[in-house]
């Protein structure tokens, strides 16, 4: 049973990491869209993306903490 | 014609309006209601998965840390997906100028589509406005279908889930009518028909005749 729990932990950690990197890359890509289209996201939109990236980073930290300790 | 219909400031379009003397007429996104549907479905699905994880990690594989981990992952993923839905909506818009119709759909990290119809190269044959359903009627959301008659085939350009479809349809109709009044866009007919049209008191000002374009003395013989 412990083996399954460890495997599931690793899987969830991997998914959370994937979403964290996705969110960081997404912010970069939205910045590039500004150069291509000159359509700026409003400040609230940019903040939403940043908050999302921070939440996913905090999530990764929580999951790592639960996994290692 | 009515005032231009913009959702966003005109300065944003300096990289889109590239043709000389191009005048912006309409710039619209899909209605926000489209987002509401997707986000509602996503939140419902998230709650369902959280409940399933609660059942799984409380009874089948009892582990408190796994329960917390799974809930955190589900929240992160649903937030990321909802952000993507909102951003995709934000970067999908329709632009109509006096020279062309443009649909821009930019999904950061995934795709970039720019569909451009040059109005001087096509003839608009039909503008349909479709509003389906009670909610769409109440919120005034609908599709505008513009049919073009291209030399080879018929093509349609659809504005999906646009706010004020009737008003925008009327503006598009006015704009296309003013385009077809240009001499270059007038239909060309055989000169022999001119006599019949005159006899039946038809207005011939809207037609150009082949002989006016290719005068007899200067025409080229194609038959040996």
Contact flag A13-B69 (C-beta cutoff 8 Å) = yes
Q: Is the dihedral of CA B161, B166, B168, B174 positive or negative?
A: positive
Most confidently modeled of A38-42, A46-50, B58-62?
A: B58-62
Of A4, A25, A40, the CB nearest to B61: A4
Contact flag B108-A29 (C-beta cutoff 8 Å) = yes
Q: Counting beta carbons within 10 angstroms of the beta carbon of residue B41, is it exposed (0 to 12), middle (13 to 18) or buried (19 or more)?
A: exposed
Q: What pLDDT score does B106 carry? A: 85
Within an 8 Å CB–CB cutoff, is residue A64 touching chain B? no
Tell which phi-psi region holds residue B201, choosing left (phi > 0), alpha (psi between -120 and 50) or beta: left
Within an 8 Å CB–CB cutoff, is residue B66 touching chain A? yes
The pLDDT confidence band at residue A60, using thresholds 50, 70 and 90, is very high
| Location of structure tokens 């998230």 | B46
**Mean pLDDT, to the nearest integer, of B193-209?**
68
Q: Compute φ and ψ for A54, nearest 5 degrees.
A: -65, -45
Within an 8 Å CB–CB cutoff, is residue B8 touching chain A? yes
So what's the ipTM on this one? 0.90
């Amino acid at each position: 049973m412990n083996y399954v729990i460890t495997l599931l932990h690793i899987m969830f950690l991997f998914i959370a990491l994937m979403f964290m990197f996705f969110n960081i890359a997404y912010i970069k890509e939205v910045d590039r869209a500004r150069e291509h289209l000159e359509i700026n996201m409003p400040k609230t939109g940019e903040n939403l993306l940043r908050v999302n990236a921070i939440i996913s980073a905090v999530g990764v930290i929580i999951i790592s903490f639960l996994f290692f300790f | 014609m009515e005032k231009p219909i913009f959702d966003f400031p005109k300065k944003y379009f300096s990289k889109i309006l590239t043709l000389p003397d191009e005048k912006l007429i309409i710039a619209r996104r899909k209605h926000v209601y489209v987002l509401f549907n997707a986000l509602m479905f996503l939140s419902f699905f998230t709650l369902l998965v959280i409940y399933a994880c609660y059942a799984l990690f409380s009874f089948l594989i009892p582990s408190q840390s796994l329960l917390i981990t799974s809930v955190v992952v589900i929240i992160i993923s649903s937030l990321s997906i909802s952000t993507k839905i909102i951003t995709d909506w934000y970067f999908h818009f329709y632009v109509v100028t006096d020279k062309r119709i443009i649909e821009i759909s930019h999904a950061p990290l995934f795709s970039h589509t720019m569909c451009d119809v040059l109005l001087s190269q096509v003839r608009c044959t039909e503008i349909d406005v479709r509003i389906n359903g009670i909610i769409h009627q109440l919120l005034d959301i609908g599709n505008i279908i513009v049919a073009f008659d291209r030399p080879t085939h018929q093509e349609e350009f659809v504005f999906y889930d646009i706010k004020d479809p009737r008003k925008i349809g009327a503006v598009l109709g006015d704009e296309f009518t003013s385009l077809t009044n240009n001499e270059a866009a007038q239909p060309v007919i055989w000169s022999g028909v001119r006599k019949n049209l005159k006899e039946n008191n038809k207005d011939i000002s809207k037609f150009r005749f082949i002989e006016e374009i290719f005068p007899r003395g200067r025409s080229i013989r194609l038959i040996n």
